[in-house]
Structure 1
Amino acid sequence: MTMDFLPVLANWPMLLKGLVLTVVLTGIALPLGMLLGIACAWMRLNAGLAVRTVVATYVEIFRNTPFIIQLFFLFFGLPSMGVRLSPETASILAMTLNLGAYACEQIRAGIEATPRGQLEAAQCLALNRWQTFTRVVLPPSLGRVWPAVTGQMIIVMLGSAVCSQISTEEISYAANLISSRTFRSFESYIVVTLCYLLLAIALRQLLQWMGPRLIFGRRRT
């Protein structure tokens, strides 16, 4: 077997376009998913019974069904209800909802580990519930679970490869198209595998840098 990467690399504009779209999908879905996860975690701990039940149902559905089924439901199922989404919008929505469900439980675990003394100190400082949550509870809670959240965000980024099944022109879509045109499947998927590997490493390094500096602050011992 002789490998020839030149026909694959000759399609570099298509690969670059797919890579950029993958980065865009990830860059939009991850912050939205984290915000959704934080909101759901707060509601599961502080809202009324009806709201907690709705949030728990959402979390269990999205944590216990395949991502591709969630994606297909949004793209192929919602049109039967009169809601039509573009491939890119459906991809972002599916990635956001998927991350939000997992992040909810991870962040909730961090919140529940908050020492009682911190809450009592916040009450002594006359902080309201919003100030207590955003300044006292949430930052250290995110610090406790940040490695797990980072891993989940990388999984969601890698899961964007499934979005090619609804014609989202991200990098795996480009690989499929190049493979069908050049008949160099092995070489095409080696190139795309390396792209995903570099994206995952870069995203992990970025999140590890951002966490203690911009999101939850450096934790002192």
Structure 2
Amino acid sequence: MNYQFDFGVVFERAPELLWATLGTFGLAFAGMALALVIGVVGVIGRTSPNKIVRAPVIAFVEIVRNTPFLVQIFYIYFALPLMGIRLNPTTTAIIALGINGGAYAIEIIRGGVESISKGQVEAGYALGLHKADVFRLIVLKPALRAIYPSLTSQFIMLTLTTSVCTSIAAYELTSAAQRIESDTFRSFEVYFIVTGIYLVISTVMMGIFALISRRYFSYPTR
């Protein structure tokens, strides 16, 4: 093999990769925040006894979970302008990530909510708690504690999914890697380093989620 490895040309673009990595974190956290909101609100509708409320949520979950993320982000970016809704790449990426992650979050959180016994809920009402307080304190928090590992795993996967956002020119790590690769023609070196960066990103995310778990979801110790 006559190929000569040269990582120097990639290291010269390290500042660009750093800013793109921050862009990836920005998209990921904004998408996760939106996904969590959609997940919590969606669970309220998904568990509603009213079919008119429940049916749209079920349809939303099935449509999103059974279509590719790339198609979803293309639809938001290219199809919505035909209806007069124009969004920039960053906003589109955040909305698409939030919608995609939210559909999965609804089902994950629903599993946790349904694991809470009715006796606990009835006890909350017996203590005179408002319905919103019962949902927040007796249903939602214990449910989140139970499904936290599954939910955070889904969010880490959502973070890696940000790489697809390069398809609409959103500013993130993969889009920066493509620009550097097209300038240097050092495909192996560029994507080898970018792979390592994504591994670091995943590790950092796992560390952040572990800290949150210890702070908010750990059981009291004597």
TM-score by length of 1: 0.95
Q: Is 1:140–1:219's contact at 8 Å kept on the other side of the alignment? A: no
Q: Hey, what's the Cα distance between the residues in 2 that align with 1:219 and 1:48?
A: 35
Residue aligning to 2:34: 32
Q: Hey, what's the Cα distance between the residues in 1 that align with 2:175 and 2:49?
A: 42
Report the Cα offset of residue 220 of structure 1.
Answer: 5.1
The C-alpha deviation readout for 1:119-147, integer Å capped at 9, x for no partner, is: 12102101121010001111110011111
Q: Hey, what's the Cα distance between the residues in 2 that align with 1:182 and 1:218?
A: 48
Q: Hey, what's the Cα distance between the residues in 1 that align with 2:37 and 2:215?
A: 18
Q: Is 1:62–1:98's contact at 8 Å kept on the other side of the alignment? A: yes
The C-alpha deviation readout for 1:65-95, integer Å capped at 9, x for no partner, is: 1111101000011111111110000000000
Which residues in structure 2 correspond to 1:101-180 (within 5 Å)? 101-180=103-182
Q: Pick from 57, 60, 78: which aligns with 1:58?
A: 60
Residue aligning to 1:196: 198
Q: Matched residue pairs, number?
A: 219
Amino acid at match of 2:66: N
Q: Hey, what's the Cα distance between the residues in 1 that align with 2:96 and 2:34?
A: 11
Q: Identify unmatched segments of 5+ residues in structure 2.
A: none
Q: Is 1:22–1:170's contact at 8 Å kept on the other side of the alignment? A: yes
Q: Hey, what's the Cα distance between the residues in 2 that align with 1:200 and 1:72?
A: 26
The C-alpha deviation readout for 1:15-68, integer Å capped at 9, x for no partner, is: 122111111111211112111101101211126211211111111111111111
Q: Hey, what's the Cα distance between the residues in 2 that align with 1:68 and 1:10?
A: 31
Report the Cα offset of residue 115 of structure 1.
Answer: 1.7
Q: 1:110 to 1:127 in 2, by over 3 A?
A: same
1:46 aligned counterpart, secondary structure: coil
Does structure 1 residue 46 correspond to structure 2 residue 54?
A: no
Q: Which runs of 4+ in 1 moved over 4 A?
A: none
Residue aligning to 2:189: 187
Q: Hey, what's the Cα distance between the residues in 1 that align with 2:43 and 2:49?
A: 10
Q: Identify unmatched segments of 5+ residues in structure 1.
A: none
RMSD of aligned Cα (Å)? 1.3
Residue aligning to 1:82: 84
Q: Is 2:120–2:138's contact at 8 Å kept on the other side of the alignment? A: yes
Amino acid at match of 2:164: V
Q: Hey, what's the Cα distance between the residues in 2 that align with 1:41 and 1:78?
A: 26
Q: Hey, what's the Cα distance between the residues in 1 that align with 2:207 and 2:13?
A: 29
Q: Is 1:143–1:219's contact at 8 Å kept on the other side of the alignment? A: no
Amino acid at match of 1:132: V
Amino acid at match of 1:161: S
State which drifts further: 151-160 or 34-43: 34-43
Q: How many percent of aligned residue pairs carry the same amino acid?
A: 37
Q: Is 1:41–1:104's contact at 8 Å kept on the other side of the alignment? A: yes
1:114 aligned counterpart, secondary structure: coil
